[in-house]
Structure 1
Amino acid sequence: MTIRTPRTMRIPGFLPTVLTGVLCGVLLVACAGGPDGAGGLRSVVRDSAGVMIVENGRPLPESRLEWRVGSAPAVTIGTTEGDPAYELFRVGDAMRLSDGRIVVANTGSGELRIFDSEGVHLESWGGQGDGPGEFGIMAPTRVERWPGDSLMAREPFQRRISIFSGRGAFGRALRLQPQSGYESVIGPLPDGRVLAQTLTTYSGGTPGTSELTRPDREYGILEADGSVHRDLGVFPGSELYVVNTANGPRPRRYPFERRAFAFVWGDLVVMSTSDRYEIRAYRTDGSLARIVRRDHEVRPPTRADLRDYVARQNPDRPEVLDAVADMPLVEAFPAFARVLVDRLGYLWVEEYRLPGDADRLWTVFDPEGRALGLFEMPGSFAVQEIGEDYILGTREDELDIEYVESWSLDRSGS
């Protein structure tokens, strides 16, 4: 298999000299909790050549934050039948505006559906088409706040984002040009620029072979008109299992993939992977600004783990077990599953559920990266956004009916 050759191989912040050679001059800035702090919480913050390094101990199971979540969703949007405005199909994302209105990216109909704070449908924006403010195939997939009181809707197949005012007026579209080298917008920065990335392309390997591969990704900062402000460099991508056939490569989701993730954290951009419990944040000039680490259990998956996982995902298709008999195993399970930044700048890191784990735990870090404790997420929904006093997510029932739910969040307990 051949992976597309990157334009540049500059990898800011991944050079080992950033973390070695200068540690003798490290300045201890802060130590919170101490070795015997409550729940085993311990955070040490230090500076290494201008890079803030935050080292966190692993929270003990009893170090749960005393934040309270409602016993049931405060708002539920979705129905099996009735008003079509409430019949959701292929929900890509959901977010809440500053006045409490909820925006649902209903990809199946090519709309942004707007609901009030009680879940009552108010209006729909967009629609499928080629006109201004309309969406192409399989869009919009994601929505995010744009600087000011606007919002951004992502259209990956059209290589563009569309900007709407808080009242639904279409403002403009930013289409990524082929000469920029970037193919997908990740999210907006506070100054109106955007973080963008390349997508992965493949050329086929020998038919009949398969492999676990890890293509690189490139990230960059783009101006509001789509032109390149700065290339940030090349970073490891997500792991993929690829089966090569006579008709070309067939990428498949690997059960225990170590993923690449990128997002905006205040005025920094994060580009990292889940190989280790480590989150790397960069300034927009590409220099490394902050590293947040947390101790975690390193455990390699077994062949039995792989078979059990596939069997659970395909209970009615036992033949798929034969397809994974020769699938390679990674050295270790991912260190975590997902990261979100809430509206207050806190980091929420979803713990990777190892075989046998039942709780849906997240570690919450303050805006500087100090671990505050563990939080158990309610329900069985996929979290899309966390605000000061709410958690917004999506859920499917046993009939595959889709819902958007908002749960109340009370942080006064800590």
Structure 2
Amino acid sequence: MNRPSTFLVLPFGLFGVFLLAGCGDGVPGTSGTVAVSDSAGIEIVSNPAEGQWDEGQGWRVREVFRLGGVGGPEETLFERPGDMVPDGEGGVFVVEAGEMALRRYGPDGTFLGRMGRAGEGPGEFGSLNSAVALGDTLLALDVRNRRISRFLKSGELLDTRPLELDTSTQGFPMRLIPLADGRLLMPSPQGCAMPPPEDPRAAGRLNVTLPPSPDDHALPVEGPVTRWVDHATHAIYGERICSVRPSLAGHGLALAVRTDGIAAVAPGPDYEIHIFRVPDGAESWSGGALDAFPPPERIIRRAVERPPVTSDDRRDYRESRRPADLTDPMSREVWEAIEAALDTTRVPDRYPAIQELVWDDRGHLWVQRRGAWGEPDGPWDVFGPEGRYLGEVALPEELSVRLIHEGRIWGMVTGEFDVQELVSLEIEGH
């Protein structure tokens, strides 16, 4: 989230407790009527604003522990935390890109060890961009060294495989998404390059690796299998510079993929989610077409009102983009490029409905609603496996959710002075 906001701690005893307006997956309540229809073989699930759970039967979310802050042991301080991966014993591995290491924490927050360090040798990282679990192993992406390292969860390095990656066409992947058949999806975010392209909306790209072969040491990368324009950013171009900056109210790519290949994507600014299956072959995606994903099997909709973009929002956003020192020639060029982009880019009348999508390990889809400029993003909506809206989650405002697994929510909270804290929440009555 690129907007300033605050984190409110609710005074519920020793730990913060938050309420979910709903209950477990029992008998649906009578709060709203879900309409399910069929259109050309696509199931359309139209949800009302109200959830299916009755009032007063909500899940309770309890803070189990919080690590970080200012001072303390090195293993409790976070500089650039990234992915979180379940360790199979109730704890997590946390990518700490600042340290170039995977840290392991137990269910109670106890530090259990680390694997990896900065370098180019076996088990070392030039950049630690992402990590995922695949079976009983951990895969760690190192874009700088263009390779993927495979570890046992006990910490032993199994092997390191080079990536056959063409960055000129496939970009620089910043995330791994594992599939049960051994393939890896690798999104590459939108970037910019000089000289400016004909279409300044330089698109993000989604690539896929083939399953590893015992006879082939390298991992071939196919793609891009699809591309998308990240409307949540501007590609800024000047005579000597190019940069990607956050936009005011554009929608970005919200994509969540389960290991069984069931994927959810929010293709536009409305509250609409497409559920599709990841194709077996790269050629079955979209042919690399812009903003194209495989045909959905299900479309989930919900009746919500998107926040309006006000004139104050537009003014405050423009002012927030202004460099502090305009006496520097480079800063002036950056500001002139930003102003040119702002003056020529249409700002939507309303903010997009959806900020983020996350699957949990029970097949629920968690959807975070987008907030207005200067406000925190909204609560999380929970949908059952059949696409029915169940209820609403209220989590700490600054919590960036990284993992929902075995009744726990794991994420990072960014506090004052950008101090990072690891937070684990337990879902009670789940």
Class of the TM-score when normalised by the shorter of the 2 chains: 0.7 to 0.9
Once the two structures are superposed, the pairs formed by residues 259-278 of structure 1 within 5 Å of their partners are: 259-265=252-258, 266-278=260-272
Match of 1:126 in 2: 116
Residue correspondence of structure 1 range 237-316 to structure 2 within 5 A: 237-265=230-258, 266-285=260-279, 286=285, 287-288=294-295, 289-298=297-306, 300-309=308-317
Match of 1:372 in 2: 390
Residue 253 of structure 1 deviates from its aligned partner by 1.4
Which runs of 5 or more structure 2 residues have no equivalent in the other structure? 1-26, 213-218, 280-284, 286-293
Tell me if structure 2 keeps the 8 A contact 1:340–1:348: yes
Q: Structure 1 residues 78 and 52 mapped into 2: Cα distance closer, same or farther (>3 Å)?
A: same
SS at match of 2:354: coil
Distance in 2 (alpha carbons) for counterparts of 1:356 and 1:132: 44
Return the offset for 1:231: 6.4
Q: Relative to 1, partners in 2 of residues 1:293 and 1:267: Cα closer, same or farther, differing over 3 Å?
A: same
* Secondary structure at the counterpart of residue 241 of structure 1: strand
1:61, distance to aligned residue in structure 2 (A): 13
Give the 5 Å matches for 1:96-175: 96-137=86-127, 139=128, 141-146=129-134, 148-175=135-162
For the residues of structure 2 that align with 1:156 and 1:228, how far apart are their CA atoms? 13
Partner of 1:6: none
Q: Quote the Cα distance in structure 2 between the aligned partners of 1:385 and 1:198.
A: 21
Task: Specify the SS of the correspondent of 1:108.
Answer: coil
* Contact kept? 2:255, 2:357, Cα under 8 Å: no
- CA RMSD, 1 decimal: 3.6
User: For 1:110-134, what per-residue CA distance to the aligned partner results, in whole angstroms no more than 9, with x for missing partners?
Assistant: 0111122222222110011111221
> Which of these residues, 39, 45, 48, is aligned with residue 57 of structure 1?
48
Instruction: Give the conservation status (yes or no) of the 8 Å contact 1:359–1:376.
Output: no
Stretch moving more, 172-181 or 377-386? 172-181
Please name the residue that 1:383 is paired with: 401
Instruction: Check conservation: 2:191, 2:235, Cα contact below 8 A.
Output: no
**Distance (whole Å) between structure 2 residues aligned to residue 216 and residue 114 of structure 1:** 35
Identity %: 27
Q: TM-score, normalising length from structure 2?
A: 0.73
Aligned mates of 2:114, 2:37 — CA distance in 1 = 49
Are the counterparts in 2 of residues 186 and 263 from structure 1 also a CA contact under 8 Å?
A: no
Is 1:48 the counterpart of 2:39? The answer is yes
Assess, with a 3 A threshold, how the Cα gap between structure 1 residues 352 and 392 changes in structure 2: closer, same or farther: same
Determine the C-alpha separation between the residues in 2 that align with 1:246 and 1:315.
18
Give yes or no for contact 2:52–2:388 (8 Å, CA) kept in 1: no
In structure 1, the partner of 2:4 is none
| Secondary structure of residue in 1 paired with 2:313 | helix
**Which residue in 2 is equivalent to 1:335?**
353
TM-score by length of 1: 0.76
Query: Structure 2: how far apart are the matches of 1:55 and 1:61?
Result: 13
With over 3 angstroms needed to count, the CA separation of the structure-2 counterparts of 1:89 and 1:352, relative to structure 1, is same
Deviations 1:82-130 (CA, angstroms, capped at 9, x unpaired): 4322232221233332202221211111011112222222211001111
CA distance in 1: counterparts of 2:408 and 2:241, whole angstroms: 45
Asked if residue 92 in structure 1 is aligned to residue 79 in structure 2, the reply is no
Count the aligned residue pairs.
Answer: 368
Q: 1:186 to 1:255 in 2, by over 3 A?
A: farther
| Residues 358 and 101 of structure 1, relative CA distance in 2, 3 Å threshold | closer
CA contact (8 A) 1:219 1:231 kept: yes
- Shift of the 169–42 alpha-carbon distance from structure 1 to 2, 3 Å rule, reads farther
Conservation of the 8 A alpha-carbon contact between 1:360 and 1:377: no
Counterpart in 2 of 1:326?
343
Q: Hey, what's the Cα distance between the residues in 2 that align with 1:130 and 1:203?
A: 27
Deviation at 1:213, TM superposition (A): 5.5
Deviations 1:118-152 (A, max 9, x none): 22222110011111221113x2x333322x22223
Unaligned 5+ runs, structure 1? 1-31
The 8 Å contact of residues 376 and 397 in structure 2, kept in 1 or not, is answered as: no
How far has the Cα of 1:77 moved from its partner? 2.1
Answering whether residue 60 of structure 2 is matched by residue 68 of structure 1, we say yes
CA deviation string 1:41-86 (max 9, x = no partner): 332333434433322222379977701011xx31222253343222
Q: Kindly tell me: are residues 161 and 63 of structure 1, through their superposed partners in 2, closer, same or farther at Cα, counting changes over 3 Å? A: farther
The amino acid across from 1:278 in the alignment is: E
1:224 to 2:211 alignment: yes
Query: What one-letter code is carried by the residue in structure 2 that aligns with 1:389?
Result: G
For residue 16 of structure 2, what is the aligned residue in structure 1?
Answer: none
Q: Which amino acid is the alignment partner of residue 116 of structure 2?
A: G
- Cα drift, residue 356 of structure 1: 8.4
Cα distance, 1:182–1:281 mapped onto 2, change above 3 Å: farther
Partner amino acid, structure 1, of 2:419: I
Aligned amino acid, residue 379 of structure 2: L
